[in-house]
Amino acid sequence: MMNKIQLWDSLRLFLLSCIEPIMHSIAMIILIQHFNGGLFHKTLLAMLMPCGLLLSIIVVLISSHRDWGKNKIIFTLTIIGSISFLISTLTDSIWVYIICIAIPVMCMYSILPIAGEVYSIYKKEQRAKRYVTSIIATVSGSLLFTYIYKGMISKGPFEYKNILIISSIIFLLSALCALKLPSGRLKSRELSFKEVISVFREDKLFSYICLAWYLLGVGNLWILPYRTNYFLEERYGFSYSPSTILILIVIIPSGCKIIATPFFGWLFDRMNFIVLRIAINILFMLYIFLLLFGTTFYHHTIAMVVYGCAFSGGGIAWNLWTTRFAPPHKVSLYMSIHAFLTGSRAILSPLVGLWALQTLGGKFCASIAITLIFVATCMLLPILKYGRIRFEN
């Protein structure tokens, strides 16, 4: 049965999911169609949005020295995102737009370690089951808001300011829901960068998994921000409409996530984590092959179905794996390190991603991505026996 924390967190995430179609597609569509953004602008936008993952470790370190409640931290960062959405509607400057449209995404990412500690209060044998409710709320909201925004896009001319105003209001409501979450301060107290470094020195297994995950992430992320460009721009041979792109990039994967998430949540609570991670990696390799070697809308549809299934399992694994590998009082610290590393590869990978896609082509990019994920998967094989819970969190 859903408790009050689950209810308010699910409602918060349902509202916060209005950013999903924006960060995955609409922000880039606006940049291309309204601001006529060039290669540098597209790359800059793709690099700025994940910066929140880098900032997450700063949020945790500062919060560990303050008496701030977890709910107040989430509330404040969400409010900043709401204000930034509003500012982005008041400018015709491409530079101001890029910064303001990236800030809400940065705020959303920076609170992930804080939210991770909220999830750690659930019993270990029910952690993924409880978290699945939050994911389904997020995906359901993503589908709803994508449907609404898709209708606005199809009206033309492109009413992007109305989309951003609506998102600003929804972010505000999400912030109010955050106030209902647990108000206690972080379990990790008075952390420093020295302690962050000590994690890598003292926990060799965690460091090794982070290295394998880094290769996986680079392979998966270096093209991810540019799927909109790949489907939209004539140079790649598809020229899908903005509505079709939203269907491919948001609606199809989100629908698959709703179906697949309970199954992967059930697996996470019962299965060796390393085996589960390897299975998810195989799905990601199949998705990339179909996406960039595919030549028809049918191929791309199947690719996004596979992506939706892979991402549902990957989302659970990404958000909850530190609850299996971290000591109870260091969950937020481990999660912030994991988020920081994700942010670094999410920022660095797109530096060459769009250039490679334009210069070397989709098939070459797919080959590199699949190779990196394959190597990361092979690295996990020697540590299969460590895939169970290490601490009684």
Q: For 36-49, what is each residue's pLDDT tens digit?
A: 888 889 889 988 98
87-103: burial string, b at 16+ Cβ within 10 Å, e else? bbbeeeebeebbbbbbb
Alpha-carbon gap, residue 111 to 108, rounded angstroms = 6
Amino acid at 239: S
Cβ atoms of 233 and 348 closer than 8 Å: no
Q: Where are the domains of the chain?
A: 4-386
The closest of 144, 388, 128, 387 to 262, measured between CA atoms, is 128
pLDDT in tens, 126-170: 666 677 788 888 888 988 998 888 888 776 545 788 889 999 999
pTM over 0.85? The answer is no
What is the token pair recorded at 182? 């647990």
Per-residue model confidence as pLDDT tens for the chain (393 residues): 457 878 888 899 999 999 988 988 889 888 988 888 888 898 899 889 888 888 888 888 887 777 788 888 899 999 999 999 999 999 889 999 999 999 999 999 888 878 767 666 666 666 666 777 888 888 889 889 988 888 887 765 457 888 899 999 999 999 999 998 877 766 665 566 777 788 888 888 889 999 999 999 899 888 787 888 889 888 888 888 888 988 999 889 989 988 998 899 888 888 888 999 999 999 999 999 999 999 899 999 999 999 999 999 988 888 888 777 777 777 778 888 888 888 888 888 777 877 888 888 888 989 999 999 999 999 999 988 887 765 444
Cβ atoms of 127 and 323 closer than 8 Å: yes
Cis peptide before 50 (omega within 30 of 0): no
Amino acid at 280: I
User: Which pLDDT does position 188 carry in this prediction?
Assistant: 60
Alpha-carbon gap, residue 309 to 6, rounded angstroms = 23
What's CA 64's distance to the chain center, in Å? 24
C-beta atoms surrounding 201 within 10 Å: 8
Helical segments of the chain, H only: 4-16, 20-21, 27-33, 39-48, 51-63, 70-88, 94-110, 112-119, 127-155, 160-178, 193-202, 204-221, 227-232, 242-246, 252-270, 273-293, 297-325, 331-359, 362-380
Instruction: Please state at what angle helix 331-359 crosses helix 193-202, rounded to 10 degrees.
Output: 80
The closest of 44, 340, 308 to 214, measured between CA atoms, is 340
Alpha-carbon gap, residue 261 to 145, rounded angstroms = 19
Q: Residue 236 in 3-state DSSP? A: helix
- Which CATH architecture is the domain 4-386 placed in? Up-down Bundle (1.20)
H or E stretch covering 184: none
Alpha-carbon gap, residue 92 to 187, rounded angstroms = 44
User: Which pLDDT does position 211 carry in this prediction?
Assistant: 93
User: Which pLDDT does position 157 carry in this prediction?
Assistant: 47
Cβ partners under 8 Å of residue 111, min gap 6 = 56, 59, 73, 74, 77, 78
Q: Residue 187 in 3-state DSSP? A: coil
The closest of 273, 267, 254, 253 to 324, measured between CA atoms, is 273
